[in-house]
C-alpha cells in the first residue's frame, strides 16, 4: 500500500482544526481553505498552503466576523475569495439565539484579477463566454495571441468571443486600456494545429516514441536522399518545449520502428546505409543513457511500424530488398527477449500508420508496391487474426499517425511524386468510418510520429515525395 505524501498536519492553535471544507486553487497556484474550528481565537481560520506544503494562517474568525466556516471558498474574477460560516455574526435572533446565524464574507488575499472561460474548450468558430470585470467596447480578446475579430459585450463583466482561425491551445487574454486579464486555465482549441520548438537536427524517416513524458526521435536520413542514415537520439520535452540529446544509436538507421515498454525504448530494423535491410534490435535505458543489443528480429526489413499491446511489441509490414513489400507481422516480448511470428497482414505494405485502438491494432494506409490503396486492417491478438476495415478515402504512405483514445489519426504523407499531402483524417473503429479534419499546416512525408498528452506530434520529415527539402518543424494536432 502506497502512502500519500503529507503536506501539513493541523495543530488546532494557531492553525485551526477540522478542515471540513474543500480546497480551491487560487490565482497564482497556491491552495486556499477554511478550518472549521479553533485557531488562535477559537472560531476557525482561513489558511493558505503551497503545493510543496508551506502553510500560513490568513485570518482568524472572532465570532462577530463569523464562526465555524464549513464550506469551500470561491474565488471571484476580481481576485477575492467568498464564503460563509455556520454561526457567528451579529444576526442575534431566534432561533439562532446567542450563537447568531452565521455570515457571508469576502476575503482579499492580494491576488490579481483574472478571466474565467465558459467553457475551456471549443473549435474555431465556436462562441466562448468570458467572465471578468472592467470590460468595455474597446476590450481586445486574444486566444493564445490570436485576436478574436467577433466579440460582443454584456455590461462590464461578460464577453462572448468567437474562436478565431489560427487559434491554438493556450491562455486567453482580455485587454482593456492598460489592464490585461488572463485566463487561469489554457483554452483547448479542438481540431487544430500548433507548433513546437524546431528539431535541432532535421531528419526524415526517423522513428519516434514516448518514454517518461518525453518524445525520443532516433535515426533518420539527414539529407534530401535515401542515404547516410544517422544514429541521433534527439529528445523533445513537451512540458518545456525544449530539445536535448541522448546517447546516439550505435549504428545509424533510417526507416526503423520504435516502441517503449516498462521505461525502455526499443528500436527495430530499418536500414544502416539506404541499400541493405537490418534486423537489429537495440534497447535504450534513459536511466543510464546507454544502448544494448537484443534478440534480432526474424525478418530483416525497413519502412515498418510498431505498437504495444499488453507489453508485447508488434512490428508490422515493411519492405526488404529480397521480398519487396511485406505482410510480415512479428511480436517481440521484452520480458523474455524473444520473437513470435504472428498472422500476416491481408495486404503486404510498407510505411503503414499503426496504433492500438482499445485492444485492436489498426494498420492504416501504406504502399503495396504499386500504389497507395488506403488499405486498412485491424488485428486481434487474442485470436491472431486480421480483419479488413474501411479503406482510407485519401490513400497515402509514410504519414504522421497515431492512436488517440478511440480513434487513429493520419496526417500528411505521400501518394504520388510531388508535394506532401496536407490532409488530416481520423478513423473510428467503432463505426468503421473516416472523418476529414483540419489540414496540417505544412505537408510532410516520413516525419517522426508520436502521441503524447492526447495530441499527435509530427516531427520533421520531407516536404515532398519521394524525397525533398528537410523540415525542422514540430507540428502538433489537438483532436
What is d(CA 75, CA 85) in angstroms, rounded to the nearest whole number?
Answer: 16
- Is 1 a residue whose pLDDT tops 60? no
- Average pLDDT over the chain, rounded to an integer: 95
pLDDT digits (tens, 9 = 90+) for 99-115: 678 899 999 989 999 99
Q: What mean pLDDT is predicted for residues 326-337?
A: 98
Cα(first)–Cα(last) distance of the chain, in Å?
A: 37
pLDDT of residue 118: 95
Q: Tell me the percentage of the chain whose pLDDT exceeds 90.
A: 89
- Give domain 116-188's CATH architecture: Sandwich (2.60)
The residue whose grid cell reads 485491424 is 378
- Is 98 a residue whose pLDDT tops 80? no
Taking the domains of the chain in order of start, what are their residue ranges? 24-108, 116-188, 192-478
- Is 134 a residue whose pLDDT tops 70? yes
pLDDT of residue 35: 94
pLDDT of residue 97: 58
- Point out the least confidently predicted range of 79-93, 192-206, 284-298: 79-93
Strands 121-123 vs 188-190: parallel, antiparallel or unpaired: parallel
- CA-nearest of 106, 130, 138 to 184 is 130
pLDDT digits (tens, 9 = 90+) for 375-427: 999 999 999 999 999 999 999 999 999 999 999 999 999 998 899 999 999 99
- Is 93 a residue whose pLDDT tops 70? no
Q: Are 45 and 61 in contact (CB under 8 A)?
A: yes
- CA-nearest of 479, 460, 478 to 223 is 460
What is d(CA 274, CA 205) in angstroms, rounded to the nearest whole number?
Answer: 11
Q: Which CATH number fits domain 192-478: 3.10.450.50, 2.60.120.20, 2.120.10.80, 3.90.25.10?
A: 2.120.10.80
Long-range contacts of 308-313 (CB under 8 A, 24+ apart): 308/259, 308/260, 308/261, 308/356, 309/356, 309/359, 309/361, 309/381, 310/381, 311/261, 311/262, 311/335, 312/381, 313/259, 313/261, 313/266, 313/268
Q: Are 297 and 279 in contact (CB under 8 A)?
A: yes
Q: What mean pLDDT is predicted for residues 458-471?
A: 94
Amino acid at each position: 500500500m502506497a502512502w500519500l505524501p503529507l503536506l501539513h498536519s493541523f495543530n488546532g492553535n494557531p492553525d485551526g482544526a477540522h478542515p471540513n471544507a474543500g480546497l480551491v486553487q487560487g490565482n497564482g497556484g497556491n491552495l486556499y481553505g477554511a478550518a472549521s474550528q479553533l485557531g488562535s481565537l477559537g472560531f476557525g481560520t482561513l489558511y493558505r498552503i503551497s503545493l510543496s506544503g508551506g502553510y500560513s494562517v490568513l485570518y482568524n474568525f472572532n465570532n462577530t466576523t463569523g464562526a465555524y466556516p464549513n464550506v469551500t471558498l470561491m474565488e471571484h474574477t476580481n481576485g477575492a475569495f467568498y464564503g460563509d460560516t455556520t454561526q457567528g455574526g451579529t444576526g442575534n435572533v431566534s432561533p439562532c439565539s446567542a450563537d447568531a446565524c452565521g455570515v457571508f464574507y469576502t476575503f482579499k488575499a492580494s491576488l490579481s484579477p483574472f478571466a474565467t472561460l465558459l467553457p475551456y474548450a471549443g473549435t474555431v468558430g465556436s462562441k466562448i463566454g468570458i467572465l471578468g470585470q472592467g470590460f468595455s467596447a474597446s476590450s481586445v480578446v486574444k486566444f493564445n495571441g490570436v485576436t478574436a475579430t467577433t466579440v460582443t459585450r454584456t455590461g462590464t463583466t461578460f464577453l462572448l468571443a468567437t474562436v478565431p482561425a489560427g487559434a491554438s491551445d493556450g491562455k486567453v487574454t482580455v485587454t482593456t486600456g492598460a489592464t490585461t486579464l488572463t485566463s487561469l486555465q489554457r483554452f483547448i482549441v479542438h481540431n487544430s494545429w500548433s507548433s513546437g520548438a524546431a528539431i535541432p537536427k532535421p531528419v526524415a524517416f526517423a522513428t519516434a516514441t514516448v518514454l517518461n513524458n518525453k518524445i525520443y526521435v532516433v535515426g533518420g536520413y539527414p539529407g534530401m536522399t535515401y542515404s547516410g542514415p544517422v544514429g541521433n537520439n534527439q529528445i523533445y520535452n513537451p512540458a518545456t518545449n525544449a530539445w536535448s540529446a541522448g546517447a546516439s544509436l550505435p549504428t545509424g538507421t533510417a526507416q526503423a520502428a520504435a516502441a517503449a515498454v516498462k521505461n525502455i525504448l526499443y528500436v527495430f530494423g530499418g536500414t544502416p546505409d539506404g541499400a541493405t535491410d537490418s534486423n537489429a534490435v537495440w534497447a535504450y535505458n534513459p536511466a543510464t543513457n546507454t544502448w544494448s543489443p537484443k534478440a534480432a528480429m526474424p525478418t530483416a526489413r525497413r519502412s515498418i511500424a510498431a505498437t504495444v499491446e499488453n507489453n508485447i511489441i508488434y512490428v508490422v509490414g515493411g519492405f526488404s530488398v529480397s521480398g519487396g513489400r511485406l505482410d510480415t507481422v512479428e511480436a517481440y516480448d521484452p520480458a523474455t527477449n524473444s520473437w513470435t511470428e504472428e498472422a500476416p497482414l491481408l495486404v503486404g505494405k510498407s510505411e503503414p500508420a499503426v496504433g492500438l485502438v482499445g485492444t485492436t491494432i489498426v494498420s492504416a494506409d501504406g504502399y503495396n508496391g504499386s500504389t497507395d490503396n488506403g488499405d486498412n486492417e485491424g488485428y486481434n491478438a487474442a485470436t491472431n487474426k486480421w480483419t479488413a476495415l474501411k479503406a482510407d478515402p485519401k490513400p497515402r504512405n509514410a504519414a504522421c499517425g497515431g492512436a488517440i483514445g478511440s480513434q487513429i489519426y493520419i496526417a500528411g504523407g505521400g501518394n504520388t511524386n510531388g508535394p506532401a499531402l496536407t490532409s488530416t483524417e481520423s478513423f473510428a473503429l467503432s463505426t468503421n468510418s473516416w472523418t476529414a479534419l483540419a489540414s496540417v499546416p505544412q505537408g510532410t512525408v516520413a516525419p517522426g510520429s508520436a502521441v503524447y498528452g492526447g495530441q499527435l506530434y509530427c516531427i520533421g520529415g520531407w516536404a515532398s515525395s519521394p524525397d525533398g527539402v528537410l523540415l525542422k518543424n514540430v507540428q502538433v494536432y489537438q483532436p
